Structure 1
Amino acid sequence: MATDPKALKIKDFIYPLPEDRIAKFPLADRAASKLLFYQKGNIQDKSFTALPDLLPPDALLVFNNTKVVQARLFFKRPSGATIEIFCLEPVAPVTDMQLAMQQTGACTWKCLVGNAKRWKEESLELEITLPEQSTGRLKVTKCEKLEDSYFIHFTWEPVGLTFADILATAGNLPLPPYLNRLATEQDKQTYQTVYARQEGAVAAPTAGLHFTQEIFEALAARQIKTLQVTLHVGAGTFKPVKAEEMAQHNMHGEEIFVSAAAINQIRNHLPRPVIPVGTTSLRTLESLYWLGVMLIQEPELSLPDLCVPQWLPYETLNIPEPAEALSALTDYLQKNQLEYLSANTQIIIAPGYSFKLVRGLVTNFHQPESTLLLLVSALIGEDWRRIYDHGLANNYRFLSYGDSSLLLP
């Protein structure tokens, strides 16, 4: 009997994770981590450097090239109280993350505000040190209060600086909350993948942290093809599932950007295996399929309506072939003279999901009671328990800075 993902209870996705098994700091060598290799029910302990030899020889490896921005800003009130502003997503003058990072002079973002009750003034200011020892000013103004966040208006001088420049200068790296520590100068390098390019994430696609130039050279030597997509990882990736049943869980939305050329490459690679590096790459790939399905059903959809609702995959009856769905996407882009697809996805991948493009996964070990653990379970079934038990029994390091796995169901 097929699993109904809406009826899943998150308490069924618990495992014991001792605090000392959470990797608080990265290894000195990115590629020195362990790699749990799971294939057709068998588990083996490997080193991450063995990955190129373990992948199917005709695999296409897909990476998320999002770059973590220094999204945490700290302001001192005259009283001495510290107010934290955590930038979540752009609101005005644009909502497109790529364009928002290039805004100059002023912009408005949805933000979390730490210590908000102590923020009495309308605005706060911060002096920032710019390259060549010059100084600038950053001003934040509280606008609309939302349920659990605020709209914050930013203005700054010199006005010619981009918002990306401002965050790089004045911001702090937003490490995952479960690390329970402040970011160090070293984290600015170690909490980015070596191929990070597109600024906009507030959390790293951590499965990619293990890759080095030497690993990429080994992949090329094995003639394993690689491809880059973009999903800007939002703070919602750490959002705990508080609902007893998944039907009541509101999945966070995230922006994806994929070139028409990349979509063509994926389509032309099928039916050979497509293997994402990380859950964000997997979510992007599977979202591409469902965006194509939406366009087959409604060819005249406008760009703002290109969003995958979280339950769409479980409620759609007419299921086209993957190549047909991807062709619908590339035809749409060509018709609208677009080189890139920009869309939003709330896709939730849980037991009961039928994978359309993906045939495996490179990923780290995830938190108990998380949507990421649901995704792993959707891919490999109840064997997720054997894998996590094996990891705990064999001293694997868990979560963002932890060890890796290659899952080939």
Structure 2
Amino acid sequence: MSVKSYSVSDFDFELPPELIAQHPAAERSASRLLDGRSSSPVDRIFRELPDLLNPGDLLIFNNTKVIKARIYGAKHSGGAVEALVERVIPGTCEVWAHMRASKSPKPGTFVRFNDAFDAEVLGRCGPDNGMFHLRLPSDPFALLEQHGHVPLPPYIEHADEADDVRRYQTVFAQEPGAVAAPTAALHFDEALLARLAERGVATAHVTLHVGAGTFQPVRVENLADHKMHSEWFEVNEATVAAVAACRARGGRVVAVGTTTLRALESAALGGGLRAGARETEIFITPGFQFQVVDRLITNFHLPKSTLMMLVSAFAGYEPIMVLYRHAIAQGYRFFSYGDAMLLERV
């Protein structure tokens, strides 16, 4: 199959609903790991990962921190409102948010959230004016931490619970701003990180604030017609240096999650990995030329999603379909709270 012949329907598959994980594994590193590095899938446990890497390899994580981005309130007219804060505008009390209400609130009106604070509607914003520009009365991060809810994905059917505050967050989360977790990194705990260090595996970090667009299916059949959502990322000088050192010693760069991969490959567009912070709308489909990442640790993704296209570009379309069929047949748990796989770049 040639690259140009792929369409959205090629990335569809039937997933039994019972395989959509509603809760995480009892222990982070006790999740299953599907080893997809060879022609035949191998079933493993995630805590085996140190044995699958070599001393001198470099693991790169996304250190974004999920904010309690979902808030509930009402318009002054009484209509209920649910908001999902997608982005906090740096240095301000303003945010961009998705809002659900019977009638859209108009600019100049106020929404009362959690019966605790008022947000002024400044207007519409974002791609296709699909979001609302709001001004909050004080620091958005503090208000959301106090009054917000964990923004669990739409396929998780329970309301957020106390355990979700801890488990829908990586153990090394540092930079607040994401509305979805970098889920491949949820499998790492302190004991596993210590074993990786003992093994001689180096680590580094990028920051990419995951947006709600990560859950959106591609709604056009021709991939060229899809408009990718934008996300903010930063790759610092230390990570650029760590990648160069890894290459010099003959190690492999292992991205933990598709968000990490997107940040690294975005920072290498145009040739050479460059430090800096900016927006990315990178859409990785079969035929993409990878510059940085040699291996990828990732969870199992939604049908027809941009992430299905990304992993197919990375490991090959047919091998990915084989892995997904194996995972379904063997009862692997899917999506954010599900199991993981280890992929080699083709």
Give the TM bin, normalised by the shorter chain.
over 0.9
Equivalent residue for 2:24, pick from 26, 31, 44:
26
Amino acid in the other structure paired with 2:70 = R
Q: Tell me the secondary structure at the aligned position of residue 42 of structure 1.
A: coil
In the alignment, which residue of structure 2 is the partner of 1:297? none
What is the match of residue 112 of structure 2?
125
2:71 to 70, 73, 79: 73
Give the conservation status (yes or no) of the 8 Å contact 2:59–2:255. Answer: yes
Give me the identity figure in percent: 39
Is 1:108 paired with 2:94? yes
Corresponding letter in the other structure for 2:290: F
Kept in 1: contact 2:76–2:111 (CA 8 A): no
Partner of 1:179: helix, strand, or coil? coil
Distance 2:176 2:217 in 1: 25
Shift in alpha-carbon separation, 1:19–1:2, aligned structure 2, 3 A? closer
CA distance in 1, matches of 2:145, 2:296: 32
- 2:95 touches 2:140 (CA, 8 Å); kept in 1? no
In structure 2, the residue corresponding to 1:351 is in which secondary structure?
coil
SS in 2 for 1:89: strand
CA apart distance, 1:58: 2.8
- Give CA-to-partner distance per residue, 1:71-119, whole Å, 9 cap, x none: 11111346654211211124xxxx4xxx34xx4xxx2222211115075
After superposition, give the CA deviation of every residue in 1:22-48 in whole Å (9 maximum; x if it has no partner).
Answer: 001111211111111112323111111
Distance in structure 2 (CA, Å) of the matches to 1:127 and 1:172: 11
Q: Give the aligned partner of residue 130 of structure 2.
A: 149
1:119–1:64 Cα change, 3 Å: same
Q: CA deviation at 1:379?
A: 1.3
Gaps spanning 5+ residues in structure 2: where? Answer: none
Query: Are 1:350 and 2:285 counterparts?
Result: yes
Partners of 1:155 and 1:43 in 2: CA distance: 50
1:337 is matched with: none
Superposed, 1:34-73 pairs within 5 Å as 34-73=32-71
Provide the TM-score with structure 2 as the length reference: 0.92
1:405 aligns with 2:341: yes
| RMSD across aligned positions (CA) | 2.0
| 1:396 aligned partner, one-letter code | Y
Contact (CA 8 Å) 1:59, 1:225: kept in 2 or not? yes
| Per-residue CA distance 1:116-152 (angstroms, 9 max, x = gap) | 5075792123466xxxxxxxx5211222235453433
Task: Say yes or no: does 1:184 pair with 2:141.
Answer: no
**TM-score, length of structure 1 as denominator length:** 0.78
Measured in 2, the distance between the counterparts of 1:118 and 1:363 equals 37
Change (3 A) 1:19 1:75: same
Answer yes or no: is 1:221 the counterpart of 2:198.
yes
- Compared with structure 1, are the counterparts of its residues 118 and 153 closer, same or farther at alpha carbon in structure 2 (3 Å cutoff)? closer
> Are 1:3 and 2:7 counterparts?
no
The aligned residue for residue 206 of structure 1 is: 183
Residue of structure 1 in register with 2:312 after alignment: 377
Q: Any idea what SS the aligned residue of 1:356 has?
A: coil
Contact 1:83 1:118 in 2 (8 A): no
Alignment match, 1:287: 266
Contact 1:122 1:142 in 2 (8 A): yes
CA distance in 2, matches of 1:153, 1:367: 31
Query: In the TM superposition, what are the counterparts of 1:378-397 in structure 2 within 5 Å?
Result: 378-381=313-316, 382-397=318-333
Question: Which of 246, 257, 279 is residue 234 of structure 2 equivalent to?
Answer: 257
Structure 1, unaligned runs of 5 or more:
129-136, 294-319, 331-340
Contact 1:36 1:44 in 2 (8 A): yes
1:127–1:289 CA distance, 2 compared to 1 (3 A): closer
1:36-73 deviation per Cα after TM superposition (whole angstroms, max 9, x unaligned): 11123231111111011012333101000000011111
Residues 130-175 of structure 1: CA deviation (Å, up to 9, x unaligned): xxxxxxx52112222354534333232xx5xx32111101111111
Tell me the CA shift for residue 396 of structure 1. 0.6
- Letter matched to residue 283 of structure 1: R
Please give the per-residue CA displacement for 1:343-380, whole angstroms capped at 9, x wherever unaligned.
11111111111211111111111111111011111111
> How many equivalent residue pairs?
339
Cα distance in 1 between the residues matched to 2:131 and 2:283: 26
Alignment partners' CA distance in 2, 1:57 and 1:10: 39
Alpha-carbon offset, residue 284 of structure 1? 0.9
- Tell me the distance in 2 between the aligned counterparts of 1:372 and 1:406: 15
Equivalent residue letter for 2:6: L
Rounded to whole Å, the distance in 1 between the matches of 2:238 and 2:219 is 39
Whether the aligned pair in 2 keeps the contact of 1:200 and 1:232 (CA below 8 Å) is yes
How far apart in 1 are the matches of 2:82 and 2:26?
Answer: 30
Aligned to 1:12: 10
Q: Equivalent residue of 2:207, what SS? A: strand
